[in-house]
Structure 1
Amino acid sequence: MAKRKRQFTEAKIERMIQEGRGQGSGKDYLPWLTIQDVPSEGRATRGVGWTTGRRHQLLSDIERDYFYLLDYCDDVTDIREQFPLLPLEETQMIAEKIGVEHPKDPKTGIPVVMTTDFLITYRDKTLARTVKPSAELENERTIVSRACLACDEQLGLDAGTSLALFRHFIARKIWSVDMTERIIPTLPAKDFSEKHSDIRLEAKGG
């Protein structure tokens, strides 16, 4: 199978605009870039969002993880990934003004359309966010904590079942935790409580 040409030309950029890339909102939004358009860093993901009801184009593990946080938040009403900074002339002017070279396609030399990883609608505000990998965030964590593994053994469950249920209860907001704190499976579970059924129904995804 022939590989898709990833080089950007003026004709390709114009065609992408005509296709509606980077336009629309909610379920009708089309990302400027898709997984096929660029080589991804890490494992690219196409995930259907609870917030938008559409399949998202996430180009790295860290984009995927940040997307999960956005999709979990009740105050986020729209998530637009790979959002283009158009018109191109404006980013070129900004680059010239601050004295930096505008990004170009390495093969064609054509200035490329810059993007922000996420354009987020949060309450009544629109926020642009770009996420970058960090060595600290990329460290691998232990898959089955000792407490969950002991629970699996005592109940005769497959290894990892209790930990999966723990994560599921948090994702569905059955258990309430401080989402500003990093959840590390190797540490004791603390400071979480059970949500009442009327609150649980407010969680996205049904």
Structure 2
Amino acid sequence: MHPKISGMAQELSGIETSLRLILEWSDSVREIKEQVALDVDETLAIADELGIEHPSVDGSPKVMTSDFVVEMTNNEVVVVQTKSWTFTLRDVEKMEIERAYWLRRNARWMLVTDLQIPDVVVSNVRDVRKYVDLTDYHIPEKHVSRIRRVAEPLIVKDIPMNEVGVMVDERLGYEYGTSLTVFRHLIAKKEWIIDMFEPIDPGSRLRILSIAGRGMDKEASAE
């Protein structure tokens, strides 16, 4: 489970899973709570005040939940509800109860639909996140350091990422694919900062915006 997730990880929908990946990646997010239950007595009172029918199951009030309650690094609390863009008027009524609930707690409530999810970012995060820890890949830290030292002067040149990987593996005598794994590890650890809105394509050049400890790369910034 990701260290930003508080409590038990929940089974999520496709939209929720995509948003969670984005929240996990964000440096502005400190803690993520999922499927947070709202106090049913309070939501009943709010529904009555607003003149909205409270959600129910078999005639009994249903406990409402918020998809994500997010604590930001600036201590702001942001509550996120996710919906398909085809949500209904009834969905709007229920969200208004939820929004009023969190407004009383000085939290910012927002709706995110599937149309707002950046698919490229989600795909990139999903691609690199499994390389944060290289234990299962049996690549020691000394190999990471060596690969990084050889690769960084090459990776900023107009050479496809997979070709740089082969060049580095051959120069260091490592098994083919080792350097590509380390490249994804460095992205996952944010040692190499890239534009996550651009697809990570091994057949294309990897455009690094900055390298940890070095700031903006001179060759990359000179383009």
TM value normalised by structure 1: 0.50
Query: Shift of residue 128 of structure 1?
Result: 1.1
1:128 maps to which of 79, 93, 96? 79
Partners of 2:184 and 2:71 in 1: CA distance: 26
Deviations 1:110-138 (A, max 9, x none): 22111111111213222211233525749
Is the Cα contact below 8 Å between 1:80 and 1:119 reproduced in 2?
Answer: yes
Residue identity matched to 2:65: T
Aligned counterparts of 1:135 and 1:76: Cα–Cα separation in 2? 22
CA distance, structure 1, for counterparts of residue 46 and residue 16 of structure 2: 26
Instruction: Tell me if the contact between 2:33 and 2:69 (Cα under 8 Å) persists in the aligned partners.
Output: yes
Task: Map 1:35-50 to 2 at 5 A.
Answer: 48-50=1-3
Name the structure with the higher helix share.
2
Query: In the alignment, which residue of structure 1 is the partner of 2:30?
Result: 77
Letter in 1 for 2:69: L
Secondary structure of 1:192's match?
strand
- How far does the alpha carbon of each residue in 1:133-152 deviate from its partner, in whole angstroms, 9 at most, with x for none? 525749697999xx445556
Contact 1:119/1:129 (8 A) holds in 2: yes
Secondary structure, in 3 states, of the residue corresponding to 1:78? strand
Secondary structure at the aligned position of 1:131 is classed as strand
State the partner residue of 1:182: 197
Q: Which amino acid aligns with 1:185?
A: I
Give unmatched runs, 5+ long, in structure 1.
Answer: 1-47, 198-206
State how 1:37-116 maps to structure 2 within 5 Å. 48-51=1-4, 55-86=8-39, 88-105=40-57, 108-116=58-66
* Partner Cα distance (2:19, 2:10) in 1: 13
CA RMSD of aligned residues (A): 4.0
Number of equivalent positions: 142
The Cα shift of 1:84 comes to: 1.3
Report the Cα distance in structure 2 between the residues aligned to 1:93 and 1:54, rounded to whole angstroms. 28
Q: For residue 82 of structure 2, give the secondary structure of its aligned residue in structure 1.
A: coil
Give the match's secondary structure for 1:130. Answer: strand
Gap change, CA 1:138 and 1:111, over 3 Å in 2? farther
Q: 1:153 to 1:175 in 2, by over 3 A?
A: closer
Q: Distance in 2 between matches of 1:189 and 1:64?
A: 26
How far, CA to CA, are the matches of 1:139 and 1:51 in structure 2?
A: 21
Q: Which residue of 2 aligns with 1:157?
A: 176
What is the aligned-residue identity percentage?
26
Higher Rg: 2
Q: Secondary structure at the match of 1:57?
A: coil
Give the aligned partner of residue 202 of structure 1: none
Any gaps of 5 or more consecutive residues in structure 2? 85-113, 128-159, 170-174, 215-223
